[in-house]
Chain A
Amino acid sequence: MQKKLMRGNQAAGEGAIRAGCRFFFGYPITPQNELFEHMAERLPEVGGTFLQSESELSGIHMMMGASAGGGRCMSSSSGPGFALMGEGLTTLAAAELPAVVVCVSRAGPGLGRIASSQSEYRLATRGGGHGDYQCPVFGPASSQELYELTYTAFDVADTYRNPVIVLSDAILGQMMEPVSLDARRSMAPPSRRWAVHGKGDLPRKVIKAAPHTDEALIELNRKLKAKYDTMRSRLQRYESFHTEDASIVIVAFGSSARIAYDALKAARMDRIPVGLFRPISLWPFPEDALKHLAARGARKFLVVEANNGQMVEDVRLSICGQADVHHYGVGGGHVFSPDEILNEVRQLHHE
C-alpha cells in the first residue's frame, strides 16, 4: 500500500488527476493555493492544461468551454472567489455540463480572513448561484477523503451531467496526513458523445445556457427537478459513530466532525450516551438516516459547525420536530477544542 504524506489541498488535486481531470482554471486565493499549485505542477506532466484565470468568474466560464469541448475540468477557490463562481455554476447546471469545484472555506463575511471556517455551507448546498438548480456537495473530513471524494466527484458530475462541489476548509486543506493513493485507480477521461468539436459530417450540436421558448424553459426545469430528485435518493452519504444507544447525537461535518469525535470519546469515558453523525453528502443532506435516528430514540441533537448556524437548518428540517435540535457554533474563524464541545454535551446531558 503506497502511502504519502500530503496536505488535504494536494490530496484533492491528486484525486482529480487520477480521475482523469485534464483542465484546471483558477485564481490564487488562500487557503486553497496548494491545490492550485499541485495542478500547475501535475497537469503538464499528464498532458493537461493549467490556466491561471484573471478571476474566478472568468475561470468558471473557461470551465464551461472546456467541459462543452468534452474535457474533465476542475477549479478551486475559497469564500469570495467561490461566491463569484455562482454565475458559472448555474450556467453549467442549465447547460447540463459536468465540472468539479473544490471550495476550501475561509472565514467571512466580506473579505473575511484566511482562518478556517465552514461558512460556505449554505452557499454550496443551495447551489451557489441564481435560478432553481442544485449541485451535489461532498464534505470530506481528512486528506484521504479529500483524495477519494474529489475523485468520486468527477464520476458523479459525468453521471448526472451537473457541476459537483467538494466543500473543504482551511484546516483540512492545510493539515498533512498520510494518503493511500492506491485507494483509487488512475482512469482516462470518459468520452462524451454530447461534446462539441465541430460538426464534421454529423448534425450540428448546440449547448444551450437557456432554451428558446417559455414552454421549453418550464420543460427544462421539470427535467432538472426529476434529475435532482434522483440525486436526492441516490447520493445521500454519511458516517455514524456510537449512535446505536445514543440519546444525544452530535451532528458535524468536515473538520468539525474530527474535533467532535475527540469530544465523543471523552464523553463516553464519562458514560454519557453520545453518538456522532457525520454527513458526507451535504447536498443531498442525509435526511433519511438522521430521521431514523430520531425515530429510534435519540432525544437531543447537537449540531456543531464552524459558523453561526447553517447546517442546523437542514438538521431541523430532517428531524422535523421529533427531537430537540441544539446548535453550537462560532463564526469568523474560531477553531473548536474538544473540551468546549464536551462541555456542551455535558450540559445537554444534565439538562
Chain B
Amino acid sequence: MTLRVQDLNFSYGSRAVLQSISFEALPGQVTAVLGANAAGKSTLLKCLSGLLKPSGSIALDGESIADMSPHRRAHAVGAMVQDIGAPARLTVLETALLGRLHALTLKVDPREVERVMGVLRRLHIEALADRLLTELSGGQRRMALLAQALAGSPRLLLLDEPTANLDLPNELEALRLVRAMTAESGLVTVVTLHDLNVTARFADRVVLMGEGRVIGSGAPEDTLTPALIERAYGVKTRLLRDGDRVVIVPEG
C-alpha cells in the first residue's frame, strides 16, 4: 500500500500554490512535509484528502483518491485539519465517533462506542471521553481530533500540524504514538510539521517544500541538510552531532 503523488498542480485563482509536486509515501512510515509558511503544505494535505481538486494524480494503492466516493474516501483517509473554528458542545467521545460516520445510526451500536473508546485509550485520553470540546485546551482538542481521524481505521492518515498547541511532553508523546500506530497498522502517514529537530527524530521520510515546489525528498539525513534548509527557509543552519543524533541549529 503506497501513496503515489505525481505531477500535482493547484492554483487559487491565478496564484499557483502547488507546482509539479511528486513524491511517494510508504506504508508503516511517517512522511513529514516541511517548509516555510505559505509553502503550500496545508494545501497539499487538502489535495491529498480530496477536499481540493488539483491536476495530476494522487493514488493510494493504485486507486485514484479523486475517483473515490465521499463515503469510500472517508473510510480510506483519516484527516486532521488545522483548525475546527468554534468548538461545538460535543463530548470527546461524540467527536471521535464522527470518525466512524459511515457506521453510525440513530441508535449507536455499543460496539462502535467500544471501538472508539479503544482509540481514546490508545491515545491516553479516555479520561476526557465525557468532557465537552468547549471545556478543553487547544492541545486536548487536537488529541480529540486525532482520535477522530484514527477512529475510522484509515489506510492513509493525514495530519496537519498535529502538535500545534501541545506542550513539549505532549508533543513528543503524540508523535511517538503516531509513529507507533503507523508502524503497527501499516498506515501511510503524511504529517506537516514545523520543528526540524522533531522531524529529524520522528519522520521516516521528509518532503521539503519551498514556494509550492518539492525541493528535496527522501530520508531525513538526506533532506535536512544546511543547503536544502537554506533553500526552503532562507536561514543558514549548522548540524551538530549529539551521540548518534544530529541537531539542526540556526546560525547567527
| Co-assembled chains A and B | no
Please give the residue numbers on chain A whose beta carbons come within 8 Å of chain B beta carbons, in ascending order: none
